[in-house]
């Protein structure tokens, strides 16, 4: 059939990927919402690196960013960065949030449909923090009502697991706990926390906890796994669409096997021999 040929033509022919894709559709979470403790905390870098690293291991993934805070120029750079590394075409609607009523219900539903496609494990980045308002309800007179949907609502509406990202600095634990508490109050399913070094910081702003200490603190208070950290690299730039060594530093700093298990990967699909 024609559809079959087109579909096969567009698929990667890496050995074993077809079988892996089938198991993803049957057994895995089909979407993951990537949230941050604040704007500019490294969500785009973490999501892009994680999606690309898993793809290199043979797992069918993609990464999308349907809602963008900032200017259209910023959005173009971020989307080009994500697409160039994860090989996710930007063939979905993008909303630039430049006014309170920018996100409509139709935009929300379109993003939901993209995220819940079962052909891939789809990472979707939401803007700001979990509590950032995105879609405001309106009164009959056309004014903004007192209710709205925020970034956490996207995960809650779809029942998808969340990964929370924070800057890897001395304020990381405090901000992680605040965001995790908000997510828990919304009954969101937080499955993992990651951190990103967004700049070369001096000792005065350095995170004093070791990875083991941070992992224990997050598990005890937030009841979520610490997935690891992506180190700062001057060769990685979202604004300049420069991927540098992103996949390498992601694989080195983030426990990919732990990510898969957090998302419900069965032991038969853990690929423990091939993921370092």
Q: Write the pLDDT tens digit of every residue in 66-117.
A: 999 988 888 999 999 999 999 999 999 999 998 888 898 899 999 998 888 7
CA distance 242 to 82: 10
pLDDT band at 206 (very low <50, low <70, confident <90, very high): confident
CA distance 225 to 49: 18
CA distance 192 to 211: 14
pLDDT band at 4 (very low <50, low <70, confident <90, very high): very low
pLDDT at residue 229 in the model: 95
Mean pLDDT computed over 118-131: 91
- DSSP 8-state code for residue 151: H
pLDDT at residue 94 in the model: 94
CA distance 63 to 86: 7
Are 194 and 230 contacting, i.e. CB atoms less than 8 angstroms apart? yes
The mean pLDDT value of the chain amounts to: 84
Higher confidence at residue 29 or residue 99? 99
pLDDT at residue 148 in the model: 87
Q: Which residues contact 133 (CB under 8 A, 6 or more apart)?
A: 100, 148, 149, 150
pLDDT at residue 200 in the model: 65
Are 214 and 180 contacting, i.e. CB atoms less than 8 angstroms apart? no
Question: Which of the residue ranges 85-89, 99-103, 211-215, 228-232 would you say has the lowest mean pLDDT?
Answer: 99-103
pLDDT at residue 15 in the model: 40
CA distance 156 to 152: 6
> How many CB atoms within 10 Å of residue 173?
21
Q: Which of 61, 75, 67 is nearest to 93 (CA)?
A: 67
Higher confidence at residue 247 or residue 104? 247
* pLDDT reading at 44 higher than 60: yes
pLDDT band at 149 (very low <50, low <70, confident <90, very high): very high
Q: Which residues contact 259 (CB under 8 A, 6 or more apart)?
A: 50, 54, 163, 192, 227
Helix H or strand E encompassing 195: strand 189-196
Higher confidence at residue 140 or residue 196? 196
Half-sphere exposure in the Cβ direction for 1 (13 Å, CA): 3
CA distance 110 to 231: 34
**Residue 211, both tokens:** 């990875």
* pLDDT reading at 266 higher than 90: no
All domains of the chain in start order, with CATH:
21-136+147-262 (3.40.50.300)
**Residue 35, both tokens:** 């949230």
pLDDT at residue 269 in the model: 45
Per DSSP, the three-state class of 175 is helix
* pLDDT reading at 263 higher than 90: no
* pLDDT reading at 22 higher than 70: no
Per DSSP, the three-state class of 192 is strand
pLDDT at residue 96 in the model: 94
CA distance 94 to 67: 6
pLDDT at residue 220 in the model: 93
């Amino acid at each position: 059939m024609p559809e079959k040929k087109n579909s096969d033509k567009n698929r990667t022919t890496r050995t074993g990927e077809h079988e892996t894709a089938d198991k993803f559709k049957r057994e895995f979470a089909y979407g993951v919402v990537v949230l941050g403790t604040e704007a500019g905390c490294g969500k785009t870098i973490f999501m892009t690196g994680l999606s690309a690293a898993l793809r290199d291991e043979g797992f069918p993934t993609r990464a999308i960013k349907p809602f963008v805070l900032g200017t259209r120029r910023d959005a173009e750079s971020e989307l080009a960065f994500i697409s160039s590394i994860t090989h996710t075409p930007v063939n979905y609607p993008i909303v630039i949030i430049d006014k309170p009523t920018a996100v409509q219900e139709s935009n929300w539903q379109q993003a939901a449909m993209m995220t819940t496609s079962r052909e891939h494990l789809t990472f979707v980045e939401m803007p700001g923090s979990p509590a950032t308002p995105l879609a405001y309800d309106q009164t009959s007179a056309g004014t903004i009502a007192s209710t709205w949907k925020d970034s956490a609502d996207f995960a809650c509406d779809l029942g998808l697991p969340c990964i929370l990202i924070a800057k890897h600095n001395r304020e990381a634990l405090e901000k992680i706990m605040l965001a995790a508490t908000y997510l828990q109050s919304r009954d969101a399913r937080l499955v993992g926390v990651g951190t990103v070094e967004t700049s070369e910081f001096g000792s005065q702003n350095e995170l004093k906890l070791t990875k083991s200490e941070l992992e224990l603190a997050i598990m005890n208070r937030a009841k979520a796994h610490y997935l690891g950290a992506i180190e700062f690299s001057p060769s990685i730039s979202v604004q300049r669409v420069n991927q540098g060594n992103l996949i390498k530093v992601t694989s080195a700093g983030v426990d990919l096997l732990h990510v898969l298990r957090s998302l419900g990967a069965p032991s038969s699909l853990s690929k423990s021999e091939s993921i370092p």
